[in-house]
A and B are shown apart, each in its own frame.
Chain A
Amino acid sequence: MKYEGFTCMDAGTDYCPCHLAETGDCIICSMLQGKNECNCNNWCSTCIYNDYISNGEKVKEKRQYYEGQIIEKEYVSDTVIIFKIKTSYSLVKELALPGSFIFIKHSKSDSYYEIPLSVMNISLNDNIIELAIEIKGPKTNKIDELDKDDAVLLRGPYWNGIMGIKYIDEISHSNVITIAKGIHQAPLVSVIKYLNSNNNDIYTFLDTGRIKKIFIEDHLDKSTEKYFETNILTKDMLSIQFKNMLLDYIDKIKPSLIFCAGSDLINNNVLQLIKNTSHEIKFACTNNSKMSCGEGICGCCTLMNNDFKLRRLCKMQTDPEFILQGRLIY
C-alpha cells in the first residue's frame, strides 16, 4: 500500500498563502479549507494558516510581469525556436532549479496568449533565460512573430514543472537514466545539469520525434556520460528496441533514479516498466498538465483519476504514480 503524501510547491514561498487560501481551497491547510480543526497531514514545514492570519487575512503578493528583451532567436528545426531573453535578475535567480517555468507573451498581446514554458537554461551573470518553443497553434504562432530586440512579458517564477522533484533533489553519487522525446528536450537540460552538479553519472535516451533534431547536444556533452538516439514509441507502446535498451541499461548500471521527459503516455509506460523490474528505482517525470493561470484558480491543471481525488497540478507536488495511474486516457 502506498500513501500519497503530497506538498504544495508554493508553500512557504513569497507567493504563499495564495488565492486558494482566500477561496477556501488551499490544497494543504484544513483550516483554510473552512474546517474547524487543524489536522495537517501534508505538512510543508510552514503553517500556511498562520501566514495567512499574520498577513491580515490576505494573500501574499501576486506573481509579477517582468519585461524581457529577445537577444537571440534561433530556428533549430522547421518548428522549433530557441529564444535567449534578457530580463530581471530577480526573476532569473528564481529559475535556477529543475522544474522552473514561466508564462511568456508578446508584450502587446492579450493575456490569452500567455504560454507556460519550461526554463531550459539560465545565465545568472548576464540575466538571460533560454527557452525552446515548438510552433503549434495560435499562441506559439504569435510568439514566432517576435524577432531579436523585441520586448516580451514574462510572468513567474513557477516551479512545479516536474513531478517527483524531491527524488532529483536528494540524489547524489549515483547512476541516473534520463529519457526525453521531442520538445521535452528543453526541460531535460536543467535536470541533467542539476544531477551532474551532484556528482551523478547520467545516461540519456533521446527520441527526436516529429522535430527530428537534437537541440541540446552541448548540454548532453557536458553533463552526461553517454546518450543514445532511439525510437521510444511504436503505436502507443514502448518500442521493442527502446524497451530492450532500457532494460539492459537498468541491469547494467543499476540506476537509482529514472527521469522521463515525455508525454504522459511515455511517462506511464516507463513507470510501469520500472515497476516490473526487480530493482528499486525512483521515478520523476515532467508535469504535463495544461496550465493557464498557474495559480490553481482557472482549473486547467486539475486532474481527477479513478480515486476521485481532485489534484491541482500547478501547485501539487506528488509522486508521479498518483498522476499517471488510474487514468482512462492519456
Chain B
Amino acid sequence: MKVIIIGGGWAGCAASITAKKAGAEVHIYEKTDMLLGLGNVGGIMRNNGRFTASEELIAMGAGDLISLADKNATHTNIDFPNHKHATFYNVNTMESLVREYLENKGVNVHTTKRVVDIEKSNNKIKGIYLHDGDFVDGDVFIETTGSTGPMGNCLKYGNGCCMCVLRCPAFGPRVSITKKAGLEDIMCQRENGKFGAFSGSCKLAKESLSEEIRNELNNKGVVILKIPEKDINLDKLNDKVCQQYAFKEFAENIILLDTGHAKLMTPYYDLKKLRNVKGLENVRFVDPYAGSKGNSIRYLSSARRDNSMKVLDIDNLFCAGEKSGFFIGHTEAIATGSIAGHNAVRFLYNMNPVVLPEETAIGNLISYANYMLNVKKDYKTRYTFAGSVYFERMQELGIYSIDKNKIREKIKSFGLEDIFSKKLI
C-alpha cells in the first residue's frame, strides 16, 4: 500500500507521519533540496487560536511536528500586537530536525524530485511523472504542493520573482497536480479583486541590525520600531496574505520577531526607506532576497475537496495545506496534512474517513472554509486560527481555549484521542 505525497512542506510532512503511523509505505516527493517549503522562513506557532489547534493535534496523536517546533523554539509565550502566547521556532535549524524525524519514522523522502505530471485512468491516478521522465506508481496520492508561485504567477499577480526560499529558477516551478488531473484550481482574490495575495513577511539578517535592536530581539523575541510618518502606507495591508497581521499597528510600526532571522511583518519594504529607521541603517534582506521589490504570490491553486480532505472528482487524491483552501500558517498546514495522511490510508483499506466534528477548532476551520467558498462564494477571505475572521469565530463559538486539559477532554469526549497515532490494520 503505497502513499505518494507531492510537496514536502509542513502539510506534506504532517501527512507523511499520520500515513506512516496508520501503516502505509510513504513517499514524499519535494522539488527543492529541503523539506518544509515556506516553513523555512516562517516560524510562528501557537499564537491565538493556533494554541488550541496545536493541543488538539497533540491530543489526537498527531502532535509530532508541534512538539518538534516547541523543542526548537527561540522564544515561547510571546505577545505582540493583536497576538498572544506565540512560540517562535528557529527557522535555521528546523528543517534538518524534521527530515531526521521523518526518516527515522521510515518515511521515504525524495528531495530535488519535481513532479511534473500524472498518469490517470478514468478518475483514478495511476502514478506521477518526475521532471527527469521517471514514472512512480502509487495507490493513493496526497497533493500538498501549496499555492505559492511559481514565477509566472508572482509576475502576473505580484511584482515578479523576488527570489524567495522556494527558489523556482533553480529547482523548477511548482506544478498543480489537480490541474494536471483536469480540474480547475480555485483562485483567491484580494479586496480590490486582484487574484492572489503577497506572502506576509520578509526576513532580515539579524547581524545587519544595530547591536541594541539585535540584543532586544534576542532577549524579548519582539521589537517594535516606529515608522517615520511620511513612510506609512496603510494600503499595503490589503495586499497581504496574512489578514491576521493586517492591522494598523503593522503599518505604522516595524514589527520584528526573532525566528532565527529578524522576521519583518510586512510583505516587502523599500530598503532605502527601511534604512531610515533608527537601528536599521545597515539592514539587508535574507528572504526574499529582493524584499525591497515584492514577495511571493499565493492562493492561486486551491482544490475543491470534502471535509475528509479528499479532492472532489478524483477517486484517490487527497489534499492539504494551502492546496486545500485559503489557509494561512504552519499549524493549519500540519492540521490539514495530518487528516489527509490518515484518511488516505483509510481510503486504501476501504474504511470510512475521519471527519473532525465542528466543535473542534480544526474540524470547524476545515468545514467553515469549505462552506464559505462553496455556499457563500467567498473568494476573498483567508482562514487561520491566529486571527482575523476565523479567530473571531473561534471566540464567538467558544472553541478557543488555552487550557490543555480541557482541550484533551474535549477530544476524548468525541472518541478522537490518539486517533491519528493508531495503526489501522
Contacts and interface: CB of A to CB of B under 8 A. Distances in A.
A262 B301 CA distance: 46
B210 to A, nearest CB: 36
Contacts of B175: 39-41
Contacts of B187: 36-37
Max chain B Cβ within 10 angstroms of own Cβ: one of A36, A37, A38, A42: A38
A37 B135 CA distance: 25
Contacts of A42: 116
Contacts of B116: 3, 5, 41-43
A2 B173 contact: no
Nearest to B195: A36
Contact of B149 (A31, A38, A53, A54): A38
A223 B150 CA distance: 45
Given A5-B116, A37-B185, A47 B152 contact: yes
A250 to B, nearest CB: 23
A31 B152 contact: yes
A126 B312 CA distance: 65
B173 A43 contact: yes
Max chain B Cβ within 10 angstroms of own Cβ: one of A40, A42, A46: A40
A49 B179 contact: no
A29 interface: yes
B291 to A, nearest CB: 18
Q: How large is the interface on A (under 10, 10 to 19, 20 to 34, 35 or more residues)?
A: 20 to 34
A276 interface: no
A1 to B, nearest CB: 5
A5 B152 contact: no
B59 to A, nearest CB: 38
B156 A31 contact: yes
Nearest to A319: B133
Contacts of B132: 5
Contacts of B149: 38
Max chain A Cβ within 10 angstroms of own Cβ: one of B119, B133, B150: B150
Given A37-B176, A38-B151, A43 B133 contact: no
A304 B127 CA distance: 26
Interface string A138-150: 0000000000000
Interface string A21-55: 00000000111000011111111011101100110
Given A3-B117, A47-B155, A37 B169 contact: no
Nearest to A31: B152
A49 B135 contact: no
A30 B152 contact: yes
B153 interface: yes
A38 B135 contact: no
Contacts of B152: 29-31, 37-38, 40, 47, 49-50
B151 A43 contact: no
Max chain B Cβ within 10 angstroms of own Cβ: one of A2, A39, A40: A39
A47 B153 CA distance: 11
B108 to A, nearest CB: 21
A36 B116 CA distance: 18
B172 interface: yes
Nearest to B153: A38
B131 interface: yes
Contacts of B160: 50, 53-54
Interface in B300-342: 300-301
Contacts of B168: 47
Contacts of A36: 156, 187, 195
A42 B117 CA distance: 10
Contacts of B134: 3
Given A37-B153, A39-B176, A53-B155, A3 B185 contact: no
Interface in B96-140: 114, 116-117, 119, 127, 129, 131-135
A54 to B, nearest CB: 8
A65 to B, nearest CB: 34
Contact of B150 (A1, A2, A38): A38
B161 interface: yes
Interface in B173-227: 173, 175-176, 179-180, 185, 187, 195
A7 to B, nearest CB: 11
A315 B243 CA distance: 45
A47 B133 contact: no
B196 to A, nearest CB: 10
B173 A38 contact: yes
Contact of A41 (B117, B119, B155, B185): B117
A171 B179 CA distance: 36
B156 A49 contact: yes
Nearest to B137: A1
Given A37-B185, A40-B150, A47 B176 contact: no
Contact of B169 (A2, A39, A47): A47
B153 A40 contact: no
B133 A5 contact: yes
A193 B135 CA distance: 34
Contacts of A41: 116-117, 131, 175, 180
Contacts of A50: 151-152, 155, 160-161
Contact of A47 (B114, B131, B135, B151): B151
Given A38-B149, A38-B153, A2 B133 contact: yes
Interface string A93-129: 0000000000000000000000000000000000000
Contact of B179 (A39, A47, A54): A39
A31 B150 CA distance: 11
B161 A47 contact: yes
Contact of A37 (B127, B133, B301): B301
A244 B244 CA distance: 73
A5 B172 CA distance: 13
A36 B187 CA distance: 10
A177 B348 CA distance: 48
A38 B149 CA distance: 8
Contact of A43 (B135, B153, B172): B172
Max chain A Cβ within 10 angstroms of own Cβ: one of B131, B152, B172, B187: B152
Contacts of B155: 47, 49-50, 53
Given A40-B150, A41-B175, 16 more contacts: A1-B119, A2-B133, A3-B116, A5-B116, A5-B129, A36-B187, A39-B173, A39-B176, A39-B179, A40-B173, A43-B131, A47-B150, A47-B169, A49-B152, A50-B160, A54-B160
Nearest 3 interchain pairs by C-beta: A38-B152, A41-B116, A43-B172
27 contacts: A1-B119, A3-B133, A3-B134, A5-B131, A5-B133, A29-B152, A31-B152, A37-B152, A37-B176, A37-B300, A38-B173, A39-B173, A40-B150, A41-B116, A41-B131, A41-B175, A41-B180, A43-B114, A45-B169, A45-B172, A47-B151, A47-B169, A47-B173, A49-B152, A50-B152, A53-B160, A54-B160
